[in-house]
Amino acid sequence: MIDWITGAYSGLTAAKDITKALIEIKEAAAVSGKALELNAVILDVQDKLFNARNEREDLQRQIKELESKLASVESWEETKSRYQLVSIHDGCHVYIENGQEPDLHSPPPYYCPTCFLNRNLVILQSPIRTMNRRTYKCAVCGTETLETRA
Ligand SMILES: [Zn+2]
């Protein structure tokens, strides 16, 4: 952005110098030549200002995108802090809300650990029951988690 400011400033300084020379010139042919030179400088400054406006708009869009991403991260961090990773079987982990305990008879909602790492809170659904175990499956990513009675 500094480049266009410097370029625009240099262009305006050149335009001022040309204008000063125009005032001092007495011949029409010389005036015409300086007017063309002045016009070229003005067009160059306009081009630099146009590019600067585009760059400014790009930067404003990037700021809005980053602000949105930051809000999303902050929101997820707040959500994430309300859950804990627990083991419900050897090597099988799920997320549950803080303050709850895994329970084979009356389980709290279990959340998919794979989706959780992707900032997605997905309840594991439809346990498949056998003698003393349940198998939960994530409807989003397909992760299966086994829970057994100790
Ligand atoms: Zn999942």
Instruction: Summarize pLDDT for 106-126 with one digit per residue, the tens.
Output: 788 999 999 999 999 999 987
Reading phi first (left if > 0) and then psi (alpha if -120 to 50, else beta), residue 65 is in: alpha
Distance 93 CA to ligand 1 centre (A): 12
- 80 CA → ligand 1 middle, Å: 15
Q: Which of 1, 110, 127, 18 is nearest to 56 (CA)?
A: 1
- Partnered with residue 2 across adjacent β-strands are none
Closest CA relative to residue 144, chosen from 112, 101, 97: 112
118 Cα–ligand 1 center, Å: 9
Q: CB count, 10 Å around CB of 74?
A: 10
Tell me how far apart the alpha carbons of residues 63 and 71 are, in angstroms, rounded to a whole number. Answer: 12
**Interval between CA 120 and ligand 1 midpoint (Å):** 8
pLDDT block averages, 10 residues each, the chain of length 150: 76 85 82 87 90 94 98 95 92 92 82 95 84 87 79
CA 87–ligand 1 middle distance (angstroms): 16
Separation of CA 125 and ligand 1 centre (Å): 10
Rounded CA separation 88/111 (Å):
12
